[in-house]
Amino acid sequence: MCGECGYRAAQKSDLSRHMRIHTGEKPYKCDQCDYSAARKSSLDLHLAKHTGDKPYMCGECGYRTAKRSHLAEHMRTHTGEKPFKCDQCDYSASQKSALNQHLAVHTGDKPYMCGECGYRTVQKSHLADHMRTHTGEKPYKCDQCDYCATRKYHLDQHLAIHTGDKPYMCGVCGYRTAKKSHLAEHMRTHTGEKPYKCDQ
């Protein structure tokens, strides 16, 4: 049993691994950068960044990823499954992070603030993205041309130009596209929805 928090484990090795939460010990070191991890599985995932290894592949469209959990998330673009439900309204999402973001609609909580202009946001990563509007930094670089972007999402969209990857598919007619927003627009051809109204 853990003397710090009362955690119990069936095996001594599990307890030893758990203790690293309290001690901060990270014995698994990357030999290519200064990253270290408390678990070997975390180091293995990290190493994929250096090797480019993406063993998990989507059988629908060929999308590849280093993480099994990312493949599970990706599969929801094909199935339309949205398992994360808001307990305050009928909103549901395919990713937990999207639900967490949505919850701010109800709470109004935006804990991350820009010191330059006062911009506030729900997610720390959004603040990091926003800060680049002040610094002009574009850290996401295409390895096939001179394109660079402030957000990884924009680079991923750009890469589809080179790869031809179109992971977003219409379940009605099979139309495929590289951009989620293009699929949303396309779906209106089936639903007949016309969200833009003239106010004149």
**pLDDT tens across 106-144, in order?**
988 888 899 999 999 888 888 988 999 899 999 999 999
Question: Coil, helix or strand for 41?
Answer: helix
Decide which of 200 and 172 is more confident. 172
Record the pTM.
0.44
In this chain, the answer to whether the domains covering 1-52 and 54-109 adopt an identical fold is: yes
CATH number of 1-52: 3.30.160.60
Distance, CA of 101 to CA of 93 (rounded, Å): 10
- Looking at domain 54-109, its CATH superfamily turns out to be Classic Zinc Finger (3.30.160.60)
Domain boundaries, the chain: 1-52, 54-109
Q: Indicate if the pLDDT at residue 50 is higher than 90.
A: no
Distance, CA of 156 to CA of 165 (rounded, Å): 10
Distance, CA of 164 to CA of 172 (rounded, Å): 21
Q: Retrieve residue 21's tokens.
A: 């939460």
Measured in degrees and rounded to the nearest 5, phi and psi for residue 92 equal -140, 155
Does residue 112 contact residue 129 with C-beta atoms inside 8 Å? Answer: no
